[in-house]
Amino acid sequence: GLIAELTDRLARLSPPAAEKRPCTLANFGPEIVYDPDAAQVVMFEMLEEAGVIRGYQASLDRDEVGLGLTVFVGVKVERHNDEQAEAFRLAVTALPEVVSAFLVSGESDFLLQVVVPDLRAYDRFLTECLLPLPGVSDIRSNFAIHTVKTPGALPLGHLPL
C-alpha cells in the first residue's frame, strides 16, 4: 500500500540500517550529498501522485479580503433522484461563492457553505444564483455570527505511521 511504499522510498534516503548509527551528515560519507528536505520532498511527491494531496491553497482571512459573511445553506431538491442531484451538483460547483458543498441526510439534501461580502451580496446570490438552480424546492440559510474554528489539519492519528 501507500504507507509501505512511502516507508520503502524514505528508507532509501537514509544511511544503511546496518550501521546502527544516529542519522547525521557525518554518517553519509563524502560521496553522498544529503539534503535534509529530501525525505519530505519524496513524501509529498508520493502523496500527490497517489491523489492523497489534491492541491495547495493559502488560508486567507475572509474579513481582510472583503468576504465578511459566511452562510450555511440547506437546500432541498424536488424528487431527489440521481439526475436531479447531478444537475444540482454540477451547477453548484460552478459557483465561486460556494466554498464547500455536501450531500447530507436530514431535513436538507445538500448543505452549502457560502462566503460573500455582506447581506446584500447574499440576497443577490440567493435570488440570482441559488433559487434558479435545477430542482431547488426549499432553501434555509443560517448565518455565521462568529468563527470559532476554521478548517485545519486533518486528524491523522489513526494512520499506521
Task: Calculate the alpha carbon distances from 8 to 5, 42, 148 in Å.
Answer: 5, 11, 40
- Give me the pLDDT at residue 130, please: 96
Of 54, 69, 140, 131, whose CA–CA distance to 99 is shortest?
69
pLDDT value of residue 38: 77
pTM above 0.75, yes or no: no
Residue 139 has pLDDT above 80, yes or no: yes
When pLDDT is averaged across residues 110-117 and rounded to a whole number, the result is 97
Determine the Cα–Cα distance for residues 126 and 116; give it in Å rounded to an integer: 11
Strand order in the sheet with 110-116: 98-103, 110-116, 69-77, 136-143
Residue 120, judged by CB atoms within 10 A of its CB (0-12, 13-18, 19+), counts as exposed
pLDDT averaged over the chain? 82
pLDDT of 52 strictly over 90: no
6-44 residue pLDDT tens: 667 666 655 544 444 444 444 445 555 556 577 778 888
What angle (nearest 5°) sits at the alpha carbon of residue 91, between those of residues 89 and 97? 100
Residue with cell 455582506: 118
Q: Band of the pLDDT at 69, cuts 50, 70, 90?
A: very high
Per-residue pLDDT at 154: 82
Q: What is the H or E stretch that residue 4 is in?
A: helix 2-11
**Model confidence over 34-46: pLDDT tens digits?**
565 777 788 888 8
Task: Using CA atoms of 65, 155, 105, 54 in order, give the dihedral in degrees to the nearest 10.
Answer: 60
Model confidence at 135, pLDDT cuts 50, 70, 90, reads confident
In the chain, pLDDT over 70 holds for what percent of residues? 78
